[in-house]
């Protein structure tokens, strides 16, 4: 087991809706990153949170936003869903910049 | 750019053979590299990592080689087993990008019994 839990595992939403995905951090891992993985591609960095603040962002629009809580768990929110948002969303946790990025199993989001 | 790419999208080997999966990266400022294994329906699983001040690192049945001169990374799997069948990704981290990882497209490894 990875120690990183994501929920839900699968989700179907309608275009234009909003979605919240959740990630619980492995004990002691105070940094969480979110990635989007389209089918057949490598994960793409969305953003990272460290000590409850966004600390780095990839090439994603502002409708992708997040939160990190004092217990280091995290949420990814996506507003105004588009069909192209259909993907596997992964969170990865780690302790500062040390080695050992642990990924969750992801949330499979389908936008119809 | 910060892209990381792989030479081959698919690799098929016989059980017991050694596998070599290659990766080319473009940013000489990357200081840390990781190989991940991803099985269908699962998240990436850490295999082995290497820092830019090293050129080789060995794990259990796996070896990572880093050639900074030609910006090339490879993963060697000894005595490949059917359970090794998966998509393998290399990822790089820029020294100035915090914890952000840049992934390549992946190589599908199929192990034939």
The predicted-structure confidence for A85-96, as pLDDT tens digits, reads as follows 999 999 999 876
Touching check for A29 and chain B: CB below 8 Å? no
Q: What is the pLDDT of residue A27?
A: 76
Q: Tell me which range, A68-77, A98-107, B94-103, is most confidently predicted by mean pLDDT.
A: A68-77
C-alpha pair distances (Å), A33 with each of A98, B34, B39, B79: 14, 16, 20, 34
Which residues does A83 contact at the CB level (< 8 Å), separation at least 6? A15, A111, A112
Band (A40; pLDDT cuts 50, 70, 90): confident
From the list B36, B43, B99, which residue is nearest A94 (CB)? B99
Contact A111, A85 (CB under 8 A): yes
Residue A4 φ/ψ, nearest 5 degrees: -115, 120
Which residue in this structure is represented by tokens 């690799």?
B11
What is the number of CB-based contacts under 8 A between chain A and chain B? 65
Touching check for B105 and chain A: CB below 8 Å? yes
Band (A34; pLDDT cuts 50, 70, 90): very high
What residue in A sits closest to B104 (Cα-Cα)?
Answer: A42
* Closest by CA position to A67, among listed A80, A57, A52, A55: A52
What is the number of helices (H) and of strands (E) in chain A? Answer: 0, 11
A95 Cα to chain B: minimum distance (Å): 10
Percentage, residues of chain A above pLDDT 70: 94
Q: What is the pLDDT of residue A26?
A: 73
* Closest by CA position to A19, among listed A72, A86, A105: A86
Which residue in this structure is represented by tokens 């948002």?
A85
Touching check for B70 and chain A: CB below 8 Å? no
Contact B37, B86 (CB under 8 A): yes
Q: Give me the residues of chain B with pLDDT under 50, please.
A: 1-3, 6-7
Spatial separation of the C-alpha atoms in residues B84 and B33, rounded to whole Å: 20
Average pLDDT value over all residues in chain A: 91
Chain centroid, CA B56 distance in Å: 13
B29 Cα to chain A: minimum distance (Å): 16
Contact B9, B108 (CB under 8 A): yes
What residue in B sits closest to A98 (Cα-Cα)?
Answer: B99
B57 class by beta-carbon count within 10 Å (0-12 exposed, 13-18 middle, 19+ buried) = middle
Band (A100; pLDDT cuts 50, 70, 90): low
Counted residue by residue, chain B has a size of 113
Touching check for A5 and chain B: CB below 8 Å? no
Spatial separation of the C-alpha atoms in residues B58 and B10, rounded to whole Å: 23
Touching check for B1 and chain A: CB below 8 Å? no
Q: Is the pLDDT confidence value at A1 over 70?
A: no
What mean pLDDT is predicted for residues A67-72? 92
Q: Is the pLDDT confidence value at A33 over 60?
A: yes
């Amino acid at each position: 087991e990875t120690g990183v839990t994501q929920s839900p595992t699968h989700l179907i939403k309608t275009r234009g809706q909003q979605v919240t995905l959740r990630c619980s951090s492995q004990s002691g891992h105070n940094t969480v990153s979110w990635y989007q993985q389209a089918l057949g591609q490598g994960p793409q960095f969305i953003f990272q949170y460290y000590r409850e603040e966004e600390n780095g962002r990839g090439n994603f629009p502002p409708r992708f936003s997040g939160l990190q809580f004092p217990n280091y768990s995290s949420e990814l929110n996506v507003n105004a869903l588009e069909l192209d948002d259909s993907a596997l969303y992964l969170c990865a946790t780690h302790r500062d910049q040390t080695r050992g990025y642990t990924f969750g199993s992801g949330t499979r989001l389908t936008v119809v | 750019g910060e892209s990381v790419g792989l030479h081959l999208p698919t690799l098929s080997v016989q059980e017991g053979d050694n596998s070599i999966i290659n990766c080319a990266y473009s940013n000489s400022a990357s200081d840390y590299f990781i190989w991940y294994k991803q099985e269908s329906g699962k998240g990436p699983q850490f295999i082995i990592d290497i820092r830019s001040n090293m050129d080789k690192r060995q794990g259990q049945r796996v070896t990572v080689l880093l050639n900074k001169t030609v910006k090339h990374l490879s993963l060697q799997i000894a005595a490949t087993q059917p359970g090794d069948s998966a998509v393998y990704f290399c990822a790089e981290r820029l020294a100035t990008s915090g914890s952000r990882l840049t992934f390549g497209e992946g190589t599908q490894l199929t192990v034939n019994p």
